[in-house]
Structure 1
Amino acid sequence: MNQKKVLMVHGITDTGKIFQSMGNILEKYGYQPHTIDLIPSIGIADLRDLAQQLKQFINNNFHEQEKINLIGFSMGGLVTRYYLQRLDGIDRVNKYVSISAPNNGTNNAHFLPLKGIQQMRPNSEFLQDLNNDVKDILSKIETLVMWTPFDAMILPPKSSVMGVGKEVNFPVLIHRWMLEDKRVFNAILNFLGNKS
């Protein structure tokens, strides 16, 4: 079965274009990169609604019998987790990569009272729900969690850690640079398998 399809899900205020470098690298090694534009992505939408968009996109663009590889960056990490943990996405995904996601919240989310941003606050009801069974569900698939100790968007940076799968950190200076770093690319390629 072809498991070379990779769907990348962006973070707040971004679009799928943020994955251009990563997509080029994946394509070079024989993978088929795909992106989605979550609307709206500015923090006003309930992350559960964005996860429904993700589910619809996957249902519309991939055969129901095929499994894809899923990458979530920043807020996209929480959207992908809700899809995996609450919308039966775990049955559609082969391998999952979380990059610099506020899996345990970020203190930066206290600054704006928008629905999606409130859900990214530490100990939010949304995160408590997801973290309640994260190990039980995500342990069903291969999971790679990546973060940087210098992250100024995810405070504290170690909030990205989930305690499931393989977890690695790289000394990348800026949040967004995680999507441009060769060490991150190599870790993803090795995780997805055989660089062929």
Structure 2
Amino acid sequence: MSPSLRDLTPPARRASRALVLALLAVVTGCASVPEARPTPQPEHVPVLFVHGTDETPGSFFAMRDAFEEAGWPKERLHAVRLHPNNGQLPIEVMAYQIRRAAEGLRKRTGAERIDVVAFSQGTLSSRYWMQELGGQPRVRRFVSISGPHHGTRAAYLKADPALVQMRPDSDFLRELNRRENPFGDTEVFSFWTPLDSTVVPADSARLPGATERTFFVLAHQLMLTNPAVISATVEALAKNSPP
């Protein structure tokens, strides 16, 4: 015959009561099961897009769509509108506009650092902001797409101030490229096409120390809509690391 609760020692009685109560809770559906908490996902770092000469924020329409499809909220994506966009003012003027746009994006999102995707002349304006106006600590990753970092012979076609600055061996470029480590802890990527007829020579788009990729895209302007370039840009900024 099984012993009753009365026959058990006090510790044994307490253990037996606990077992009975647990079984009753399971049977009646009253057992409290800890809720599974979803694994927190890292926030997407805000991205600032910077266009080039004769371009507009709309130049990034395909790339912005790709970032949204990859999970970036719209409010964390911003394409700055530089004015004027035709090279009639020096690159330094554009850099101040980028600084204002970057600080606005940081303030709206509460982010300490942002990522920057820049195209063509926009890469030089972004670099000037980062290197000369104190923007580098604010940038986690910088993606340069077809930037004339060492000048382009196509800039001899016009005499506008920004174009003069983009000529090979210009005073502006010598000053911008004088430092050995201008980007500090910012991760830098350089994407370019050997078939570029706007950045001449095409390898002027290379940046020392950058993670470099070449894409056989037929024209300078097509770099922003090429699926492979877009995919590589999203991939570069999607890698997990502290913002």
Give the fraction of aligned pairs with identical amino acids, expressed as a percent.
32
Whichever residue aligns with residue 54 of structure 2, its letter is T
Shift of 1:139: 4.5
Distance 1:130 1:118, change over 3 A: same
Q: Determine the structure 1 residue equivalent to 2:71.
A: 30
User: In structure 1, what is the Cα distance between the partners aligned to 2:93 and 2:69?
Assistant: 33
- Which letter maps to 2:134? D
CA shift for structure 1 position 60: 2.6
Match of 1:48 in 2: 92
User: 186-195 or 44-53: which moved more?
Assistant: 186-195
Displaced runs of 4 or more, over 6 A: none
Partner of 1:136: 181
Counterparts in 2 of 1:57-68, with a 5 A limit? Answer: 57-63=101-107, 66-68=112-114
SS at match of 2:191: strand
Deviation string 1:13-63 (CA, Å, 9 cap, x unpaired) is 111110000000011111232101100010111100110111012223322
- C-alpha separation in 2, matches of 1:81 and 1:91: 12
* Match in the other structure for 1:193: 238
Task: Give 1 or 2 for the bigger CA radius of gyration.
Answer: 2
Bigger relative contact order, structure 1 or 2, given CA contacts below 8 A and separation 6+?
1
SS of match in other structure, 1:163 = coil
Letter in 2 for 1:115: P
Q: How many residues align?
A: 194
Report the Cα distance in structure 1 between the residues aligned to 2:220 and 2:173, rounded to whole angstroms.
21
2:228 aligned residue? 183
Shift of 1:2: 3.7
Please give the alpha-carbon distance, in whole angstroms, between the structure 1 residues aligned to 2:178 and 2:137: 19
The CA deviation at 1:12 is: 0.3
Q: Does structure 2 retain, via aligned residues, the 8 Å contact 1:103–1:159?
A: yes
Structure 1 window deviating more from structure 2 (152-161 vs 138-147): it is 138-147
| Post-superposition offset of 1:189 | 1.9
Specify every segment of 5 or more residues in structure 2 that has no aligned partner in the other structure, as ranges.
Answer: 1-41
In structure 1, distance between residues paired with 2:113 and 2:184: 16
Q: TM-score, normalised by structure 2?
A: 0.76
The one-letter amino acid paired with 2:100 is Q
- Is the Cα contact below 8 Å between 1:3 and 1:67 reproduced in 2? no
Give the structure-1-normalised TM-score: 0.94
Question: What do you get for the CA RMSD once the two structures are aligned?
Answer: 1.5
Cα distance change of structure 1 residues 194 and 161 upon mapping to structure 2, 3 Å threshold: closer
Query: Are 1:111 and 2:150 matched, yes or no?
Result: no
Following TM superposition, by how much is the alpha carbon of 1:65 offset from its aligned partner in structure 2, in angstroms? 5.3
Given candidates 64, 72, 84, the residue that maps to 2:118 is 72
Q: Which has the higher strand share?
A: 1
